[in-house]
């Protein structure tokens, strides 16, 4: 298995632009999570899906953030418009049966908003 695949690995964008991050979970996993990692706040859960349905988006910082999962093998996290304080590493993770075998993280997208 190729693991959780995220793209792009790095993204540099100007303030105000739209940014879309992509994630392909491990095949067969029924939960997908989006996390953000910063030095100040550590690892924070933004949103998670179960069987493609968003379950808890209470960690999404603002309305500028949105996430979708149109099918079992693809999810996006969109920021529109982006701001410098959104600069962080965004991780996607997937799991089977709510983490009974653990949570597998992707390689992350390092986002820089200038």
Partner 1 sequence: ELKVEQNPLFLSMQEGKNYTIYCNYSTTSDRLYWYRQDPGKSLESLFVLLSNGAVKQEGRLMASLDTKARLSTLHITAAVHDLSATYFCAVDRGTSGSRLTFGEGTQLTVNP
Per CB under 8 A, which region of 19-27, 62-70, 78-86, 102-110 contacts partner 1? 102-110
Verify binding: residue 50, partner 1, rule CB under 8 A: yes
Which one, 33 or 82, has the nearer CB to partner 1? 33
Among 23, 33, 36, 60, binds partner 1 (CB under 8 A): 33
Verify binding: residue 5, partner 1, rule CB under 8 A: no
- In angstroms, rounded to a whole number, what is the distance separating the alpha carbons of residues 97 and 23? 19
Which one, 28 or 102, has the nearer CB to partner 1? 102
Among 13, 66, 76, 107, binds partner 1 (CB under 8 A): 107
Beta bridge partners of 78: 20, 66
Torsion angle of C-alpha atoms 90, 13, 82, 71, degrees rounded to 10: -50
Instruction: Give the DSSP per-residue string, 42-93.
Output: EEEEEEEEETTEEEE-TT--STTEEEEEEETTEEEEEESS--GGG-EEEEEE
Verify binding: residue 84, partner 1, rule CB under 8 A: no
CB 87 within 8 A of CB 61: no
Among 75, 91, 94, 113, binds partner 1 (CB under 8 A): 91
């Amino acid at each position: 298995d190729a693991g959780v695949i995220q793209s792009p690995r790095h993204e540099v964008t100007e303030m105000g632009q739209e940014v879309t991050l992509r994630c392909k979970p491990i095949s067969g996993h029924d939960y997908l999570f989006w996390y953000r990692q910063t030095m100040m706040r550590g690892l924070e859960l933004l949103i998670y899906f179960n069987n493609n349905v968003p379950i808890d988006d209470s960690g999404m910082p603002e309305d500028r953030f949105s996430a979708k999962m149109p099918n079992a093998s693809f999810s996006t996290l969109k920021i529109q418009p982006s701001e410098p304080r959104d600069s962080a590493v965004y991780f996607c993770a997937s799991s089977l049966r709510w983490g009974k075998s653990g949570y597998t993280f992707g390689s992350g997208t390092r986002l820089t908003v200038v």
